[in-house]
Chains A and B, each alone.
Chain A
Amino acid sequence: VLLLKIRATRSCRGISLKTQELYALVFICRYLDLFYSYISLYNTVMKVTYLATAFSIVRYMRFDKVVRQTYDKEQDTFRYIFLIAPCALLALVLNHRFSPTEVLWTFSIYLEAVAILPQLVLMQRTQNIDNLTANYVALLGAYRGFYILNWIYRFATEKHYRQWIVWISGVAQTALYADFFYYYALCWKANQRLQLPA
């Protein structure tokens, strides 16, 4: 959705490069297992797709002659370190196994939960949030939210399916969107363009 928006409008107005780069980092850390494990064709295709789209978005925002001029660097002020450092620390302490790949995987789970924050902060500062941006954020929130339903199903049907790190992170990630979803639903009902209160 985001790539379509950027390509169609030749603009990344209202999009946080910080959030996009954090997602690229999340996918790198999580999908290292592309090199040493195979689950299914679907799984592999989606992992490669996520990596490719994340990097393509970052490339457009940083290097495309036209698109990069629409990036509002002054407003996108969230500091990487405030998200990366606590997640790295937590991953070192709270993990299933203390190995490089497992710690990086756990780090990616924690980081994904909070990676939307720069985007949410940027949107709060944006007067006119365009529909594609609002829809993109809503879809991103719904994506992990729908996982919760799947986790409940798997918990009920699969033995040994206990995933506290993933579950708590996923619920926290979805909760971060609660406020956004509230205003998104209000504006959608009133058929108005999304506006977040300052």
Chain B
Amino acid sequence: SRSAAAKDEL
């Protein structure tokens, strides 16, 4: 998913 990459950020 396009938003998945940002989910490892806080």
Q: Are A and B associated in one complex?
A: yes
Of the candidates A50, A147, A158, A162, the one whose C-beta lies within 8 Å of that of B9 is A147
Q: Contact size class for B?
A: under 10
Q: Is A127 an interface residue (CB 8 A)?
A: no
Q: Which of B2, B7, B8, B10 contacts A162 (CB 8 A)?
A: B2
Main secondary structure of the interface of B (DSSP, over half): loop
Interface centre among B1, B3, B7, B8 (most CB of A within 10 A): B3
Task: Report the tally of A-B residue pairs with Cβ distances under 8 A.
Answer: 32
B binding-site residues for A, Cβ under 8 Å: 1-3, 5-10
Are B5 and A37 in contact, CB atoms less than 8 angstroms apart?
no
Chain A neighbourhood of B8, CB < 8 A: 39-40, 43
Indicate which residue in A37, A46, A163 contacts B10 across the interface (CB closer than 8 Å): A46
Is A158 a contact partner of B5 (Cβ separation < 8 A)? yes
Q: Is the CB of A21 closer than 8 A to any CB of chain B? A: no
